[in-house]
């Protein structure tokens, strides 16, 4: 079974006829590590599904990259506002490691909304992304970098093994040296 088909089925019942229409719109790409998929200022014209690999979303702040979050396979991603409104993105999306990505053009993604299964999938996916965004914002407001790191250690240890320390430190809002101190402290306890 196609990995995107399996992913959609984890949300909704997907009739074979609907999947066949969706599949016709997909394009597969292999993206090398450290590749920019979307640059700030570009309009995001695709909805993506990452079959393999890991990506990061980041913005520039005073000449420094600030990582907003990471997306690991299997998952859908896009620059939400840029894609939905077809306006220039305010963020960048880059691969951290080699990725296998399926893309669906804007026109097709919205055209497929006539399918009840696709429409329900998109609605549920948007809800999941909104919940995740809310969780990240709550963590930023209420937890220290050390506590956020501990939580990641418990909930997503594989992610921590894959993300370079400089990107992880940026995501936590601390210097790489501070992250090293936190890691040493936790290793001792």
Determine contact, residues 45/88, Cβ cutoff 8 Å. no
Question: How does pLDDT run along the chain (189 residues), one tens digit per residue?
Answer: 899 999 999 999 999 999 999 999 999 999 999 999 999 999 999 999 999 999 999 999 988 999 998 999 999 999 999 999 999 999 999 999 999 999 999 999 999 999 999 999 999 999 998 888 788 778 777 788 888 888 888 888 888 889 999 999 998 888 888 888 888 888 887
Contacts of 36 (CB under 8 A, 6+ apart): 92, 93, 94
Q: Locate the domains of the chain by residue range.
A: 3-112
Superfamily of domain 3-112: Jelly Rolls (2.60.120.10)
Determine contact, residues 58/94, Cβ cutoff 8 Å. yes
User: pLDDT digits over 4-46, tens only?
Assistant: 999 999 999 999 999 999 999 999 999 999 999 999 999 999 9
- Residue 103 phi, psi (nearest 5): -120, 150
């Amino acid at each position: 079974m196609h990995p995107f088909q399996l992913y959609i089925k984890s949300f909704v019942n997907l009739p074979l006829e609907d999947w066949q229409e969706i599949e016709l719109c997909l394009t597969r790409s292999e993206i090398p590590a450290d590749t920019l998929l979307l640059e700030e200022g570009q309009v995001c014209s695709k909805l993506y599904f990452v079959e393999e690999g890991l990506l990061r979303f980041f913005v520039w702040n005073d000449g420094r990259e600030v990582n907003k979050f990471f997306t690991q396979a299997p998952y859908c991603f896009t620059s939400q506002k840029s894609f939905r409104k077809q306006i220039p993105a305010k963020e960048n999306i880059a691969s951290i490691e080699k990725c296998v990505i399926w893309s669906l053009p804007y026109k097709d993604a919205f055209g497929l909304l006539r399918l009840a299964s696709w429409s329900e999938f998109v609605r549920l996916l948007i809800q999941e992304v909104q919940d995740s965004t809310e969780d990240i914002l709550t963590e930023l407001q209420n937890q220290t970098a050390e506590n956020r790191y501990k939580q990641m250690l418990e909930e997503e240890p594989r992610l921590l093994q894959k993300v370079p320390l400089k990107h992880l430190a940026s995501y936590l809002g601390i210097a790489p040296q501070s992250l090293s101190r936190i890691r040493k402290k936790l290793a001792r306890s």
